[in-house]
């Protein structure tokens, strides 16, 4: 890995005697990590070791996940770089809260927040670029998240729609990516001497919207995957100067972990910047990150705008009967409030409780997709299979046998002598739902999505 000369000179000057170990670490091996999903029924992976927990991540472990494994396919695990797992731990979302992940793709931090919330409250997860938002939505689905809104919107539009609304807001801001040079050498090609300053200016624009989204008394967490002081301590110093309603909170650095204080000397010697956190690759097994945690003062002036609740869609009598019959026959253990349903074409979503109105924001996922109306029938969505516990389904069929697993995820029908009734069957692997099949005349017709088959 050939680092730019200007980058080397910059960090030799900033780090002095520490620069040697720093540059050596950037040439070292990349550390791999994953998290266990607390939303799943069975949480013991068969193909992964849990012998090396990540000290700063409650559900995190060192190790490499196969994208074709049962654990990955069922959403039991999420592959995530170890240092990145610290950010959501700092956010520390609670069940029942309203939480926003403002620049969320591909979804590592959002799924971690979802695990903290355990299906209670509202998780709004957003990505401005629609292509990346689709990946975010897919990961939210695979993780089995029932209480998430996935949007693709500019932060300024969300600030107008939802002022002073969220208990916690995370801005993992787009940055120069210096902390990912070791993991993603292509990031080096984007770097220039002026790039960190350009990114810092963009972050300050997004922060101007983020601060409006936090309710008085609420928490704002700002993070980057860069070493650049312009995007880290200097951005936070500027934020504190521009927004006196915010104060910096100390971050628990997890004793013995290698996580260190921020560097006040790189931002006007403001001592309170030591409350921020830095993760350096020479100090711990992970890539580079910076995290700051701020609180909006409880007596901060509030917006006069009233945030309205999203209106539910009313089903016709025939549609309501089709849906209720389906729920009774297929997922009798799932409680569905018919007053929280919205439709996107033929697809029906169960909104999170107290969901705010969407306005003109582009929505990709509005809570849990239950399924779709077809001709005189209702078919379950793949998201439903991943979100429910197997004991909530009326009929379950395990595909743990390697040959049956391979056949199912390849899209093939399965022949079985199992004692099943005609209708939809939840297919499970490793104790967790993986998809649907329809049992007819001794055969399980495959409903695994074509785009996911392999």
Catalytic residues, which ones?
Answer: 225
DSSP state of 173: -
Task: Enumerate residues 6+ apart whose C-beta is below 8 A from 122.
Answer: 97, 98, 99, 147, 149, 352, 353, 354, 355, 356
Pairing of strands 148-152, 122-126: parallel
Which residues, in sequence order, are CB contacts of 348 under 8 Å at separation 6+? Answer: 315, 323, 341, 342, 369, 370, 371, 372, 373, 378
Structure-token pair, residue 203: 């972050």
Distance CA(210)–CA(261), nearest Å, equals 24
172 known ligand binder? yes
Across the strands, what pairs with 98? 122
Parallel, antiparallel or unpaired: strands 362-366 and 148-152? antiparallel
CB 322 within 8 A of CB 373: yes
Whether 71 has a binding-site annotation, put simply, is no
- DSSP letter for each residue of 22-48: HHHHHTSPPPPEEEE-TTSS----SSS
> Which bin fits 414, alpha (ψ -120 to 50), beta or left (φ > 0)?
beta
Name which of 388, 390, 357, 396 is nearest 371 in CA terms. Answer: 388
Is 438 marked as a binding-site residue? no
Token pair, residue 403, equals 């040959």
- Confirm whether residue 104 is marked as ligand binding: yes
Q: Does 107 appear as a known binding residue? A: yes
Tell me what percent of the chain is helix, strand and coil, each rounded to the nearest 5.
30, 25, 45
- Judge whether 292 is annotated as a binding position: no
Closest CA to 428 of 392, 379, 377: 392
Report whether 233 belongs to an annotated binding site. Answer: no
Check the annotation: does 258 bind a ligand: no
* Vertex 30 angle, CA 127 and 81, to 5°: 35
Q: How far is CA 200 from CA 147, 228, 288, 299, 418, in A?
A: 32, 9, 17, 29, 60
Rg, C-alpha atoms of the chain: 23
CA angle centred on 373, ends 367 and 374, rounded to 5°: 145
Contact 101, 123 (CB under 8 A): yes
DSSP string, 82-134: TTTHHHHHHH---TT-EEEESS-TT-HHHHHHHHHHTT-SEEEEE-SSHHHHH
Residues making up the binding site for S-adenosyl-L-methionine: 103-109, 127, 154, 172
């Amino acid at each position: 890995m050939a680092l730019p000369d200007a980058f080397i000179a910059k960090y030799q000057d900033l780090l002095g005697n520490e620069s040697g170990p720093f540059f050596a670490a950037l040439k070292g091996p990349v550390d791999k990590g994953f998290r266990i999903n607390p939303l799943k029924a069975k949480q013991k992976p068969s193909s992964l070791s849990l012998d090396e927990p990540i000290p700063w991540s409650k559900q995190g472990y060192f190790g490499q996940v196969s994208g074709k494994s049962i654990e990955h396919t069922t959403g039991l695990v999420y592959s995530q770089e170890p240092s990145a797992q610290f950010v959501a731990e700092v956010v520390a979302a609670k069940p029942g809260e309203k939480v926003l992940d403002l620049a969320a793709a591909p979804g590592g931090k959002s799924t971690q927040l979802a695990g903290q919330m355990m299906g209670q409250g509202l998780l709004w997860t957003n990505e401005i670029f629609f292509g990346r938002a689709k990946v975010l939505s897919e990961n939210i689905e695979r993780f089995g998240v029932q209480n998430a809104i996935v949007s693709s919107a500019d932060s300024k539009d969300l600030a107008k729609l939802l002022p002073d609304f969220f208990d916690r807001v995370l801005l993992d801001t787009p940055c120069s990516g210096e902390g990912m040079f070791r993991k993603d050498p292509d990031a080096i090609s984007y770097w220039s001497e002026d790039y960190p300053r350009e990114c810092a200016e963009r972050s300050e624009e997004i922060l101007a919207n983020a601060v409006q989204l936090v309710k008085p008394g609420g928490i704002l967490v700002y993070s980057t995957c860069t070493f650049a002081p312009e995007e880290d301590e200097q951005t936070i110093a500027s934020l504190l100067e521009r927004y006196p309603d915010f104060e910096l909170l100390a971050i628990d650095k997890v004793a013995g972990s290698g996580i260190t204080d921020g560097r006040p000397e790189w931002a006007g010697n403001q001592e309170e910047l030591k409350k921020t956190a830095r993760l350096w690759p020479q100090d711990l097994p992970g890539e580079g990150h910076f995290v700051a945690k701020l609180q909006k003062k409880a007596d901060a002036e509030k917006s006069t705008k009233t945030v309205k609740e999203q209106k539910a869609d009313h089903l016709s009598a025939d549609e309501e009967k089709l849906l209720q019959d389906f729920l009774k026959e297929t997922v009798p253990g799932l409680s569905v409030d018919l007053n929280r349903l919205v439709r996107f074409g033929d697809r029906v979503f169960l909104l999170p409780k107290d969901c705010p109105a969407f306005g003109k924001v582009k929505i990709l996922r509005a809570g849990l997709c239950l399924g779709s109306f077809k001709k005189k029938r209702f078919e379950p969505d793949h998201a439903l299979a991943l979100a429910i516990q197997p004991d909530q389904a009326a009929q379950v069929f395990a595909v743990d046998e390697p040959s049956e697993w391979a056949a199912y995820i390849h899209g093939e029908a399965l022949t079985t002598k199992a004692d099943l009734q005609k209708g939809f069957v939840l297919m499970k692997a490793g104790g967790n739902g993986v998809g649907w099949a329809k049992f007819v005349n001794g055969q399980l017709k495959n409903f695994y999505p074509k785009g996911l088959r392999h």
